[in-house]
Structure formats: structure tokens, C-alpha cells
Amino acid sequence: MTESTELPPEDRKIVTLARSARARNGVPEGAAVRDETGRTYVAGTVSLDSLQLSAVRTAVAMAVASGAQSLEAAAVVTTADRLPPEDRSAVTDLGGPRTPILLAAPDGTLRETLTTD
């Protein structure tokens, strides 16, 4: 595990934003993605009777809906030990197979950095 303070500033920022979304909304996950222009999109888990989305899929959808063409990085704050394949695929669909996904614990500690290649 890596302290988030050891991350580059832009990565530390998206971990902090993801952590804040999780805490603010009282949801199981928080996520943030950074697009190719440096804009960030932050989301929490969506759990409605008619719609279930993880935090990272919600953040990716927000980026796409806002016109993002690619992703530089994603961060997910969760108690889960791993990300479902659908979450990884959402990041890859927009960012490509080398887009890093920072998987962090609720306290912001980085558990691992994932890519799909």
C-alpha cells in the first residue's frame, strides 16, 4: 500500500475527490476520472430501483456526456478488494488499455494501480 501523499499531485487530487464523493454521499464507492484536457469528473455509486451504476462507470459516463475524448487516469475509493471487469472496461473504452486506475481504500491509501494491458 502507498500513502496518497506519495502520488503525483494530479493523481493525489483525483483520489481525494473520489474519497470526498464517497464520504459526502454516504455511498459504497467514490470515483473520479481526469480527461485529456485535465478536467475531472466525480461521482458516487448510483443505486436506484431502475438504475444501478458503480461510481467509476458513473464518472466515465459524465465525462463522455461532457465531451471528453479520452481519459488520463481514474481513481476509485472503495472497501472492495478488486474492481469488476465492467468498471475496468468503462475506463478502457474511453481511455485505452494503459489508462491507470488508482484503487484506494476509504482512508485514501493506494492499494494498487491497475491497467488492462
State the pLDDT at residue 2: 54
Q: Indicate if the pLDDT at residue 70 is higher than 60.
A: yes
State the pLDDT at residue 115: 87
pTM of the full structure: 0.92
What whole-number distance in Å separates Cα of residue 112 and Cα of residue 104?
A: 7
Distance, C-alpha 63 to centroid of its chain: 11
Instruction: State residue 55 phi and psi, 5-degree precision.
Output: -65, -45
At 41, list the grid cell: 469528473
103 touches 76 (CB < 8 A): yes
Q: Indicate if the pLDDT at residue 59 is higher than 70.
A: yes
Could you report the per-residue pLDDT of 21-47, keeping only the tens digit for each?
A: 999 999 999 999 999 999 999 999 999
State the pLDDT at residue 6: 82
